[in-house]
Amino acid sequence: MSRPSVFRVLSVISWGILGGIAVQTAAADECLVCHEMTTPGIAKQWHDSRHSDVGVECRACHQSRAGDPSAFEHNGFTITAVPSPRYCEDCHPQEVEEHSRSKHAWGAFLGPLKPYYLKAKAEGLDPERMAKTALTPLFPDSGILHKLGLLDDPTYHHNNVNLGCIECHGSFIIAEPEGRLKGWPNAGVGRINPDGSIGSCTYCHTRHGFSVAEARKPETCGQCHLGPDHPQHEIYEESKHGNIYGASGESWDWEAPAGEWGPEDIAAPTCATCHMSGFGGVVETTHEVGERLYWELQPKKSVPQWKGPDEVDLVTDRVSDLTKAESGREKMTLVCYQCHSGQWADNYFEEFDKVVADYNQIWERTDGLLQQAYDEELISRDNPLDETPEIMHYLVWHHDGRRWRMGASMMGPDWTHWNGAVDAIMNKLGTMINDIEMRRRLKAIEEKLSLASGAAGPG
C-alpha cells in the first residue's frame, strides 16, 4: 500500500503550521505583492492549489539552489524561473526518484537527442545542430530532405523539430546571464534542465495548480500519446473504458488522495489508473511509468521490458529484463482484478500476447525483404530513408505495426485491425513486395538491354 494516511494527516498538520508561520512572516506576500498584479493568473492558480493550503509558497520552489546557473537577482531575491524536479525533491523524494528512473525522464536522449547523445560524449558536438540535421530514421523526413538537398541548407530551419519532437520529448534549456534562458519554455518529458537534472513534473501537474486530479485524467497524457505512431489516446477513446469515462467521468471522485483511490471512486480506468495510480489498495502509486508493462511495443521487434537507467545506459544498452517484465504484468493484472474476474483479464492478456507474436513474425519477413533488396542491389544503402521499400519498411514498424500492437494492448479493436494489421500487411508490406518485384523486373530488362547493346557494339 502507499503511504499510510496517518503520515498524510501529520504532514498536512505540520505543513499547515509552517504555512501559518509563513503567512505571519508574509513570505508568500513578498512575491505576491507584485505578482497579484503582474501575473494574476499564476497567483490565482497557486491560491487554489493544495500547496497554498499547506503553506508551500513561491520561494519554496523558486529560491535558487547553490550551483544552479539559472539563478538571478530579482527584486532583492535570488530566484530561478525553472524549478527543476530537484526543487521538489526535499518534499517529494519518492516521486522524484521514480520519475528519474522512468523513460519519461530519459525521453529526450532516447528520442530526438539520441544522435547527439551517442556522438557528444566523444566529440562535444553542437546539440542544436545534431538534433536537427541527423540523417537517421529518428528523423523520418531526413532521407527525402537529403535527396532534395535541404538537409544541410542553412535556409531550411528544420523547425518542426523545435515545435514538434522536443515539445513532447524535451530538449536543452540553457541558462545565460541575468536569468535569460535559451530553449525555454519547454516542458517535454525528458528536458535537460540548467542545473543538469533531467525531466520535468509540470507536463502532468501543470503549474501552479500541481493537481493530482488533473494528472489522473486521460487528456493530460493524450497531449503526447496520440497520432499515427502511438495513438494511445485515440485507442482509449474508442475502448469501452474510454466510453464509460466519456459517459459518466464527470461524476467520479478525482480528488481522493494518492494511494486511496479505488473502484469505489471511478467506474472505469484512465491511463493513470492502469499505469501509475495506487489503486484499490493492491498496487502502490508509481512515477516510473514502465513499472506495469511486460512488453516494449515501440521498437521494431517487440521484446520484454528493458533494464532501467539505474542498471544500464538506457540509450545504448537495450537488455530485456524478464523479471521486471513479469512483475509488470502481475501489477497491471492486479489493477484489472479490481473490476474484472480472473478469467476475463487473463484471457484478454493471452489474446494480446498472440497479437504481439503475429506482429513480430510479419516484422521478420519485412526486415528480411529489405535486406534481400539491398543484397540484390535493387536499392542502395547510402541514404537510408528515401526509396519506397525503405519507407514502407519504416512504416510497417513505426506507424502501422505500433498501432496494431498498441490497439490490442488497450482494447481498441479498430486500431488493432483496420489501422493496424490491415495497413501494415496489405498496404505497406504489399506495396513493398510489389515495388521490389518491379525493381527486379526493371533490373532484368536493363541487364538484357545492356547485354544486347554490348553485343551490338563495336568489337
Choose which of 172, 236, 252, 359 interacts with ligand HEC (CB under 6 A): 236
Site stretch for ligand HEC (CB under 6 A), options 101-109, 380-388, 429-437, 447-455: 101-109
Q: Which of residues 345-364 bind ligand HEC (CB under 6 A)?
A: 345, 348
Question: Is residue 397 near ligand HEC by the rule CB under 6 A?
Answer: no
Helix (H/G/I), strand (E/B), else coil: 314 = coil
Choose which of 71, 107, 385, 419 interacts with ligand HEC (CB under 6 A): 107
Choose which of 69, 228, 263, 384 interacts with ligand HEC (CB under 6 A): 263
Radius of gyration of the chain measured on its C-alpha atoms: 26
What is the sign of the dihedral through the CA atoms of 257, 263, 264 and 267? positive
| Smallest distance, ligand HEC to C-beta of residue 368, A | 22
Choose which of 135, 144, 244, 303 interacts with ligand HEC (CB under 6 A): 244
CB-based contact 306:319 (threshold 8 Å): yes
Q: Which of residues 143-172 bind ligand HEC (CB under 6 A)?
A: 164-165, 168-169
Choose which of 58, 151, 395, 429 interacts with ligand HEC (CB under 6 A): 58
Question: Is residue 225 near ligand HEC by the rule CB under 6 A?
Answer: yes
Q: Which of residues 73-92 bind ligand HEC (CB under 6 A)?
A: 74-75, 77, 79, 81-83, 85, 87-88, 90-92
Comparing CB distances to ligand HEC, the nearer of 114 and 439 is 114
Choose which of 224, 391, 424, 436 interacts with ligand HEC (CB under 6 A): 224
- What is the helix (H) or strand (E) element at residue 45, kind and residue range? helix 40-47
CB-based contact 190:199 (threshold 8 Å): yes
| Smallest distance, ligand HEC to C-beta of residue 20, A | 13
* Nearest residue to ligand HEC, by Cβ distance, number only: 290
| Smallest distance, ligand HEC to C-beta of residue 121, A | 18
| Backbone dihedral angles phi then psi of residue 296, each to the nearest 5 degrees | -100, 110
Helix (H/G/I), strand (E/B), else coil: 371 = helix
Q: Which of residues 280-319 bind ligand HEC (CB under 6 A)?
A: 285, 287, 289-290, 293-299
Question: Is residue 42 near ligand HEC by the rule CB under 6 A?
Answer: yes
**Through-space distance between the first and last CA atoms of the chain, rounded to whole angstroms:** 88
Comparing CB distances to ligand HEC, the nearer of 29 and 433 is 29
* Bridge partners, 73 (sequence order): 78
Question: Is residue 116 near ligand HEC by the rule CB under 6 A?
Answer: no
Helix axes 5-24, 27-38, angle to 10 degrees: 80
- Please spell the DSSP secondary structure of 99-158, one letter per residue: HHTSTTTTHHHHTTTHHHHHHHHHH---HHHHHHH--STTSTTHHHHHHHT-TT-TT---
Question: Is residue 269 near ligand HEC by the rule CB under 6 A?
Answer: yes
CB-based contact 88:80 (threshold 8 Å): no
| Smallest distance, ligand HEC to C-beta of residue 424, A | 16
Best CA proximity match to 287, nearest among 109, 110, 88 = 88
Question: Is residue 38 near ligand HEC by the rule CB under 6 A?
Answer: yes
Comparing CB distances to ligand HEC, the nearer of 275 and 399 is 275
Choose which of 156, 336, 360, 386 interacts with ligand HEC (CB under 6 A): 336
Q: Which of residues 170-199 bind ligand HEC (CB under 6 A)?
A: 179, 185, 187-189
Q: Count residues binding ligand HEC (CB under 6 A).
A: 128
Question: Is residue 22 near ligand HEC by the rule CB under 6 A?
Answer: no
| Smallest distance, ligand HEC to C-beta of residue 209, A | 8
Burial code (b: 16+ CB inside 10 Å, e: under 16) for 59-96 equals: ebbbebbeebebbbebeeeebbbbbbbbbbbeeeeebb
| Smallest distance, ligand HEC to C-beta of residue 323, A | 14
Burial (0-12, 13-18, 19+ Cβ within 10 Å), 58:
buried
Question: Could you give the angle at the alpha carbon of 347 between the alpha carbons of 345 and 349, nearest 5°?
Answer: 70
Q: Which of residues 419-458 bind ligand HEC (CB under 6 A)?
A: none
Q: Beta strand 174-175 with 181-182: parallel, antiparallel or unpaired?
A: antiparallel
Helices of type H across 249-341: 271-275, 322-337
Site stretch for ligand HEC (CB under 6 A), options 212-220, 368-376, 418-426, 428-436: 212-220
Question: Is residue 271 near ligand HEC by the rule CB under 6 A?
Answer: yes
CB-based contact 348:339 (threshold 8 Å): no
